[in-house]
Structure 1
Amino acid sequence: MSAALSVALEPSLGAVAISELRRLSGGASRETWSFDATQDDGSLRQLVLRRDPPTRPGWPGTMGTEARCLRASAQAGLAVPQVLLDSDSPDLFGSAGIVMERIEGETLARRILRDEKLRDARSVLAADCGAFLAGLHAIDPQVVAPLQSADPLKQIRLTLDALDMPSPTFEFAIRWLESNRPQTLSTAIVHGDFRLGNFIVDEEGLRAVLDWELVHLGDPREDLGWLCVKAWRFGAADPVGGFGTRENLLAAYQAAGGAPVSLAELHWWEVFGTLRWGAICMTQTHAHLSGLLRSVELAAIGRRVCETEWDLLLLLEPVVTTEALSKSALPKSAPPKSAPPKSAIQLDQSQPSPNQAPIEGLHGRPTAEELLQAVREFLTEQVMPSTEGNLSFHARVASNVIAMVERELVLGPQQDQQRATSLREFGVGSERELAASIRSGGFSDNRVALLELLADGVLSSLLVARPTYLDSPITALPSTALPSTDPPSTDPPSTDPPSQ
């Protein structure tokens, strides 16, 4: 690739020598490569190449669209990297790609949220984000035309139908979104993925906004709501990206020229964004399952769907959902006083009891669980410490997947039996049938029981996929600022304030 980059950059930089080429970790849909380009006069350009995976090309024209939006944003004085070269053809980089300047600063979300040297930056980051989005949404869309535009909720429905991975909770959320939709605003350029992980931050605040591959025409509030989705708080409590308040974000947005946005409107878009992230998780894991792009990271993302389901239930029906958590917190098979909370269950088989009865059977020991544990220890104790970048990142993902499988081997059989019984008692035979019934407006006379059934199923999934997610903070909106939580007209009204 070094030779290809040297040739591609010659028209803009002259003859250059490429060095320090390495792939950066992260990025489930695009590859990111860091490199240095040394010119004949000795000057050094620190650059980044973002390209489609050669085996999974993106939608034709997407890279050019991204480059046009970056250039227009730079012209408007927004914090974006300078674009040197872009191509929608695979001829230059092996796939469509963009070369841009490399900007110094922190990109890792957890460091941005926790590093002491970035404390001052965190205090202004919500305001920086509001001002950036106001500037972006003020750019004339014709400057970067053409951009794709579609009804976002209809797109979610089409995506879920095409994936054929039914989620009863998603159907419940779609019904709420359809019946509580705010009036649309004038369309604007929407970044589409505006959140931590796509920011470069230094001690002074926001340095650059990256990853424009999802840019499109749409409602500007979509970017604001996406920044508030719980997944992008990375375990922190503050509702705006883990670093700010909704009020500060909206005030800065309006002060910089953005349209006034109410907390109720923002809430709708936060619910939509949470559902959208769940659909993206499904889409990415489908790429793995279909064989389009085999990846342990994409496979693991599929098990994050239950996180978005839990977030949706908390956003829409927090009281019923948290009550369901309390009722389900103790395993049904254990005495209530002696059993630990579900989120505290640990599966540690590294030290078998000396009094443990010998395991007899066709395969003997090590058991399947013990073999998985051995592989997980190999990854965490040997592979990860001796590698870096993309390989170390995927080793960590693989270790998490193995831990997930360990939990499912222990908990799954009983969970499956209990879930089948619960569904039968509710009058349906499967999750697919439950989802279809919710979509058609069923269970309007049994809303609380339906929510308890949804919450119980999501809790079981979380206990296997990521039990510690149940311990993550929840940040509520003021009840006086909330939109109506009335379900579709066939349902009785709900007075539960949304949360998170």
Structure 2
Amino acid sequence: MSEPHDTAARLAAALRRHAGLHGHVDGLRRLTGGATKTTWSFDLVAPEGRHALILQQAPALPALPASPDPVQSGPRRLATPRLAAADDARLMTVARAHGVPAPRVLAMLDVQDGLASGYITERVEGETLGRKLVNDPALAAARGAMAAQAGTILAAIHATPTQALPFLQRLSPAQELAVYGDLLERTGFRHAALAFALQWTRQHLPTGGRQTLVHSDFRTGNLIVGPEGIRCVLDWEIARIGDPMQDLGVLCMRTWRFGGTPEVGGFGARADLYAAYERASGMPVDAARVRFWEAFSNLKWAIGCVRRGLSVRADGSAASLELCAVGRRMEEPLWDFFQLIEG
């Protein structure tokens, strides 16, 4: 970002150019949170009133050991790229048009805007912090509704047509396992439990089934919640075409319950999630596939912890203390993985 005054002026110009909105920018501030994006909140003060808005930009990720960033492609090195900002915005626009509560995109930025890669959306008020969502007494009524709401929203995501989204990657479970196995191999890190988990997953890969739009990161922490429940679904940058049961499995991971007891996101019951999904989609939930994806997602997060813990700067030093701390938590999703496959 440039100096705040210059940035504000460029934002106002971009909104005039792309959205036909005239006014000046007020209250520009960077928000906390967001592992892969830089997020700014601001208001556009226009003659007709204030517009509450968000600017999102995609920063470069830290370098990882023995692995140039981007991931190499080829028969052995399959890529799992995050969506480019323009594709991310295009996906949210299509999903929203088909009933998904995705952010409303007002402007996709280009080089002429002088603001780097990104987009501007309407700002949705509400809570996103996982521990607050699962514990705050003020959100008790929301928690009572959210599992069923999540099922309905996931049904809408999985029914979203993808013909206008040719940039979406299509990954089979076997391809996704190959990606994560390769990512772990490239770190040089060796761990017997990880090796066993990879082998178990390889032996239990599901076959067949539907292929739909999959959010891939639908979980507590990526939802904006108000007193009435889920208002908006965030963080679409790793969406792809795949097994819709993956989204249900991710939502049930213990890691993303943030200390809450209920199995769905720390806020609700599987029975409510499954019933609402089946009611809205007209398709049965395959509980065994959901359990596979929950286990596999724990393995992926364990590998993600390893990679974050070993992340380095260009000079070879640790990328950050925070990432080192994440690396030390790899045993938690591994424990959850083994609990799931034994159950």
Alpha-carbon shift at residue 162 of structure 1 (Å): 2.0
Of 72, 85, 92, which aligns to 1:63? Answer: 85
CA distance in 2, matches of 1:167, 1:248: 37
2:149–2:229: 8 Å Cα contact kept in structure 1? yes
2:42–2:52: 8 Å Cα contact kept in structure 1? yes
Report the secondary structure of 1:143's partner residue. Answer: coil
2:83–2:237: 8 Å Cα contact kept in structure 1? no
2:217–2:238: 8 Å Cα contact kept in structure 1? yes
2:82–2:238: 8 Å Cα contact kept in structure 1? no
1:169-203 superposed Cα distances (whole Å, 9 cap, x missing partner): 12111211122222232211111110011101111
1:54–1:94: 8 Å Cα contact kept in structure 2? no
Corresponding position: 1:268 with 2:311? no
Alignment correspondent of 1:257: 281
1:137–1:190: 8 Å Cα contact kept in structure 2? yes
CA distance in 2, matches of 1:10, 1:100: 14
1:28–1:298: 8 Å Cα contact kept in structure 2? no
User: In structure 2, what residue type is equivalent to 1:186?
Assistant: R
Alignment correspondent of 2:77: none
2:130–2:258: 8 Å Cα contact kept in structure 1? yes
Alpha-carbon shift at residue 262 of structure 1 (Å): 2.8
Report the secondary structure of 2:330's partner residue. Answer: helix
Alignment correspondent of 1:112: 133
Corresponding position: 1:187 with 2:225? no
Corresponding position: 1:25 with 2:32? yes
1:28–1:297: 8 Å Cα contact kept in structure 2? no
CA distance in 2, matches of 1:170, 1:295: 24
- Aligned counterparts, 1:299-338, within 5 A: 299-317=324-342
Alignment correspondent of 1:75: 97
User: In structure 1, what residue type is equivalent to 2:341?
Assistant: L
User: In structure 2, what residue type is equivalent to 1:201?
Assistant: V
Mean CA deviation greater in 50-59 or 22-31? 50-59
Alignment correspondent of 2:121: 100
- Aligned counterparts, 1:7-46, within 5 A: 7-11=13-17, 12-39=19-46, 41=47, 43-46=49-52
CA distance in 2, matches of 1:286, 1:167: 14
Alignment correspondent of 2:308: 284
2:146–2:230: 8 Å Cα contact kept in structure 1? yes
1:51–1:97: 8 Å Cα contact kept in structure 2? yes
CA distance in 2, matches of 1:107, 1:236: 15
Q: Given the two structures, how large is their TM-score scaled by the length of structure 2?
A: 0.85
Corresponding position: 1:152 with 2:152? no
List gaps (5 residues or longer) in structure 2.
1-6, 63-68, 71-80
Corresponding position: 1:197 with 2:221? yes
CA distance in 1, matches of 2:258, 2:61: 30
Larger RCO (CA under 8 A, 6+ residues apart):
2
User: In structure 1, what residue type is equivalent to 2:257?
Assistant: R
1:147–1:217: 8 Å Cα contact kept in structure 2? yes
Structure number with larger C-alpha Rg? 1
1:434-467 superposed Cα distances (whole Å, 9 cap, x missing partner): xxxxxxxxxxxxxxxxxxxxxxxxxxxxxxxxxx
Report the secondary structure of 2:231's partner residue. Answer: strand
CA distance in 2, matches of 1:264, 1:241: 18
Taking only the aligned residue pairs, the percentage that are identical comes to 37
Of 35, 44, 50, which aligns to 2:56? Answer: 50
Alignment correspondent of 1:162: 186
CA distance in 1, matches of 2:278, 2:272: 10
1:342-373 superposed Cα distances (whole Å, 9 cap, x missing partner): xxxxxxxxxxxxxxxxxxxxxxxxxxxxxxxx
Q: Given the two structures, how large is their TM-score scaled by the length of structure 1?
A: 0.59
Runs of 4+ in 1 over 6 A off after TM superposition: 55-58
CA distance in 1, matches of 2:116, 2:326: 24
1:134–1:253: 8 Å Cα contact kept in structure 2? yes
User: In structure 2, what residue type is equivalent to 1:96?
Assistant: S
1:278-304 superposed Cα distances (whole Å, 9 cap, x missing partner): 222233344445669933332322122
Q: Cα gap change, 1:93/1:296 in structure 2, threshold over 3 Å: closer, same or farther?
A: farther
Larger strand percent: 2
CA distance in 2, matches of 1:295, 1:94: 26
Alignment correspondent of 1:227: 251
CA distance in 2, matches of 1:235, 1:93: 42
User: In structure 1, what residue type is equivalent to 2:22?
Assistant: A
- Aligned counterparts, 1:283-432, within 5 A: 283-288=307-312, 294-317=319-342
Alpha-carbon shift at residue 267 of structure 1 (Å): 0.9
CA distance in 1, matches of 2:339, 2:21: 56
CA distance in 1, matches of 2:85, 2:208: 28
1:274–1:311: 8 Å Cα contact kept in structure 2? yes
Q: Cα gap change, 1:75/1:241 in structure 2, threshold over 3 Å: closer, same or farther?
A: same
Of 200, 213, 238, which aligns to 2:262? Answer: 238
What RMSD in Å do the two structures reach over aligned CA positions? Answer: 2.3
User: In structure 2, what residue type is equivalent to 1:53?
Assistant: P
1:306-334 superposed Cα distances (whole Å, 9 cap, x missing partner): 222222222234xxxxxxxxxxxxxxxxx
Report the secondary structure of 1:304's partner residue. Answer: coil
Q: Cα gap change, 1:246/1:93 in structure 2, threshold over 3 Å: closer, same or farther?
A: farther
